[in-house]
Amino acid sequence: MMASSTPFSEAERYKFNTIFSNNGSTFQHNIPANPLMATGRCETWKRVKLLARGAFGTVWLETEEKGQQLRAVKRIAKTTNALHLRELLTLTKLTYPKHFVQFFGWFESEEDMYFAMEYVKHGDLSRLINKSSAPIAESDVKSISRQILDGLKVMHDNNFCHRDLKPENILVVSPSPIIVKICDFGVSKRLQEGTNFRTTVGTLGYVAPEVSDLFDNDSSVYTCAVDIWSLGCLIFALLTKETPFPATRKLISYVEGLIPFPESKLVERKASQDTIAFIINLMMPEPEARLTAHSALREPWLREELETTGKKGRTSG
């Protein structure tokens, strides 16, 4: 009887057999053919500089010895409570380069695991928010929102929850026209039979109230609706340069129905009423009342953007 494949045996297909240099800054890979590459090959990569440092690891820019290829490599310690395995399994399942940062493969040392991914030189949405003196154009915000929702639709349809959606985890592939991809699946989780989403994860200002257990009930279980809430916070930040609930006290008051949604900042930035309504529908206090990725993509606010984009494409063609 043939043994059934496990999630990790699938991930093994993407593994690079690697020789490390003595100082750990050069990597020689023997890369077998895999679902992402039709033929195997040998490559040598060198570290160029540190790109980012986070709670669970570091990201390095690397260059291929023989050519001009660049890649980003995330290094994560194997002591991080199996987060490295969970992120690996997520990367090997979400191989949709249009929506997510492209995954090339992985390798490991005794202490660490390394994920090789595409390098995106324009950085993330937080850089776009911070460097822009004027508000980001609503047409660009619509395009960003639609692209993120397209990715969330794929994730949620496959029972994945990102659980840490924020500007720093959205990469800007092109600033004009604006093209973005979802990245960093370090705390993402796949809902499978016999499991629930319970762990308190996420980033202050973007985390949904049910993740922080702000509801007056006995359940600590939440759903993929937490990603929808985070997207509402992200859109709010794109338009105003701040999050809707920087203080937990105000968030609690909103969840308890004591104050309305804080739309004054959006009004100040001259956001349209359709935009405000869209954000509020993403950020309803009760998770089941929020839009889903599917229903949000059918909203007039986004359909309008898609129709405008389509007309431009037909005109230029």
Residue whose tokens read 């960003």: 144
Q: Which residue has the higher pLDDT, 160 or 198?
A: 160
Q: Which residue has the higher pLDDT, 202 or 206?
A: 206
pLDDT score at 37: 64
pLDDT score at 289: 96
On average, the pLDDT of the chain sits at: 87
Q: Which residues of 79-115 are buried (b: 16+ CB within 10 A; e: fewer)?
A: ebeebbbbbbbbbbbbeeeebbbbbbbbbeeeebbbb
pLDDT digits over 247-286, tens only?
A: 889 999 999 999 999 999 999 999 999 999 999 999 999 9
Domains along the sequence of the chain with CATH: 15-117 (3.30.200.20), 125-311 (1.10.510.10)
Residue 244: exposure state from Cβ atoms within 10 A (0-12, 13-18, ≥19): buried
Region 4-26 average pLDDT? 80
Q: Which residue has the higher pLDDT, 185 or 304?
A: 185
pLDDT score at 190: 85
Cite the active site residues: 164
pLDDT band for position 10 (cuts 50, 70, 90) = confident
Q: pTM to 2 decimals?
A: 0.88
Q: Which residue has the higher pLDDT, 33 or 50?
A: 50
Nearest to 213 by CA among 255, 182, 183: 255
pLDDT band for position 82 (cuts 50, 70, 90) = confident
Region 186-190 average pLDDT? 86
Q: Are 173 and 117 in contact (CB under 8 A)?
A: no
Spatial separation of the C-alpha atoms in residues 107 and 30, rounded to whole Å = 10
Spatial separation of the C-alpha atoms in residues 264 and 313, rounded to whole Å = 35
Q: Is the pLDDT of residue 195 over 60?
A: no
Q: Are 299 and 146 in contact (CB under 8 A)?
A: no
Spatial separation of the C-alpha atoms in residues 64 and 286, rounded to whole Å = 49
pLDDT digits over 141-178, tens only?
A: 999 999 999 999 999 999 999 999 999 999 999 999 99
pLDDT score at 317: 44
Q: Is the pLDDT of residue 315 over 70?
A: no
Reduced to 3 states (helix: H, G, I; strand: E, B; else coil), residue 197 is strand
Weakest-pLDDT range from 46-50, 104-108, 250-254, 300-304: 300-304
Residue whose tokens read 């989403």: 197
Q: Which residues of 198-224 are buried (b: 16+ CB within 10 A; e: fewer)?
A: eeebbbebbbbbbbbebbeeeeeebbb
pLDDT band for position 314 (cuts 50, 70, 90) = very low
Q: What percentage of the chain exceeds 90 in pLDDT?
A: 63
